[in-house]
Amino acid sequence: MELHLTSEQTLLRDSAAKFSAAAGPQVARAWRGREPNFAPERLREAGELGWLGMLVPSAADGLGLGLTELALVLEQAGRGLVCEPIGLAAIAAAALAQGRAPHPMLQRAMRGEALVVPAMQESAHGGDPLAPATRAADNGRTPRLTGTKVSVCAGGAAGFLISAAGPDGPALYYVPRDAPGVHVAAAPTVEGRKLATLTLEAAPADIVPPRRSSRSAVEALTDLALVALSAELLGVMQGAQELTFAYLRIRKQFGKPIGSFQALQHKAVDIYIKTETTRSLLYQIAAANDPYRIDPELAVAVKAKASEDALAVTQACIQLHGAIGFTDEHDIGLYLKRAMLLSSLFGNAAAQRRRYAGIAGLAM
């Protein structure tokens, strides 16, 4: 269903759609396996368009926009299989802008000149993101981090935002990639980019203080990441269904377009329902929440739903394409692979449901 947008929001979406149209499956295919797997100048372009600083308060030279604007841009990024990590960069910039004085990296991160990405996850199933096992030792001057982070989108990153247990509990830290004690080991994904395991051995770090409205900097960034990933997953669903519905209209078998067969029509409707309910959930959450203080029950809920639905939708889209759908030459498989990656990051659907049961108090 149509969204209710302001004219500024509509312009932003159109501009993101244009950026996204210049990407698309063919470009995503060309970037597969490269390191980094995106065009640095396109990331800078996103910076120039203001997207990387869109959540950053205007006092820190950002656009001070909200989650709706973030979701509009990231939905288009997912829809066009954009390779540039706009979402990760934008939420990292938002995190760097916390505290009284923004972190020195903020300006470069907002301009897309230096990519900063979150590195929060410690196990394949996410665990409890608010209780990191990575330790921050405070030897009086510079905190030093020791621990391991997994499934980090490290390609092209100049630095990381890392959750660690500090002297006053869990806190967020910035660590440059080239800091001593930082080791990055990357392996390829089906989707084209690599995921890295980050090993930190007494790596020197800067603490990133929370914004006043947040419960904590770790929680704020975690919930923001869940919403950002959900928005991109929504776009993946949207792109996959557009491709599929178009195919249903033109492909003929038994002398008729296959989209005229009732069983396929009903599958198409189920795809549409999954996409539209995810859309409503995402944008209603976006409209009702401060980017620095998202209701965690809702952040977890939308990541659970978007992760599950995006896998189901992209799988169903392949089925509706028939044999052409499982070839690498056709684009629809790229959407499934993107869904596989994004749905798995920061905890898959089942991991989110586990957290949800706790947050929503279902055991009581």
Partner 1 sequence: MFRHDSPEEAAFRSAARTWLEANLPMALRGRTNRPPPAELMPWYRTLSGKGWIAPHWPKEYGGMGATLNEQIIMAEELARVGAPQLPAQGLNHIGPILIEFGTAAQKAKHLPPIIAGEVIWAQGYSEPGAGSDLASLATRATLAGDRFTVQGQKIWTTWGHHSHWMFALVRTDPRAEPRHAGISFLLLDLHSPGVTIRPIRTIAGDDEFSEVFFDNVAVPAENLVGKLNDGWRIANALLGHERLGTSNPQFALIALERIKTMARATGVLADPGFRDRLAAASIGVTALLALFNHAVELTNLQRSLGPDASIIKIYGTELLQSLNDLLLEAAGSDAAMANPVATNFGEVDVSTPFLQVRRATIYGGSSEIQRNIVARRVLNLPQ
Q: What is the largest CA-CA distance in the chain?
A: 77
- Contact of residue 39 among its own copies, partner 1, none (CB under 5-8 Å per partner type): none
Q: Is 151 in the site for partner 1 (CB under 8 A)?
A: yes
Least Å from the CB of residue 277 to its own copies:
21
- For helices 86-96 and 40-48, what crossing angle results, to 10°? 50
Least Å from the CB of residue 304 to partner 1:
5
Tokens matching residue 106: 């903020």
Which range binds partner 1 by CB under 8 A, 44-52, 62-70, 74-82, 255-263? 255-263
Which range binds its own copies by CB under 8 A, 116-124, 202-210, 259-267, 276-284? 259-267
Residue with structure tokens 């108090």? 361
Alpha-carbon gap, residue 77 to 173, rounded angstroms: 28
Q: Which is nearer to partner 1, 12 or 341 (CB)?
A: 341
Alpha-carbon gap, residue 220 to 208, rounded angstroms: 12
Say how far residue 20 (Cα) sits from the centre of its chain: 15
Q: Which is nearer to its own copies, 287 or 357 (CB)?
A: 357
Q: Which is nearer to partner 1, 20 or 343 (CB)?
A: 343
Give the H or E element holding residue 162: strand 157-166
φ and ψ of 35, to 5 deg: -130, 110
Q: Which of residues 302-341 bind partner 1 (CB under 8 A)?
A: 304-305, 311, 315, 318-319, 322-323, 325-329, 333, 336-337, 340-341
Q: Is 253 in the site for its own copies (CB under 8 A)?
A: no
- Contact of residue 113 among partner 1, its own copies, none (CB under 5-8 Å per partner type): none
- Contact of residue 228 among partner 1, its own copies, none (CB under 5-8 Å per partner type): none
**Neighbour tally for 56: CB within 10 Å:** 27
Tokens matching residue 232: 């991109």
The binding site for its own copies (CB under 8 A) comprises 261-263, 265-266
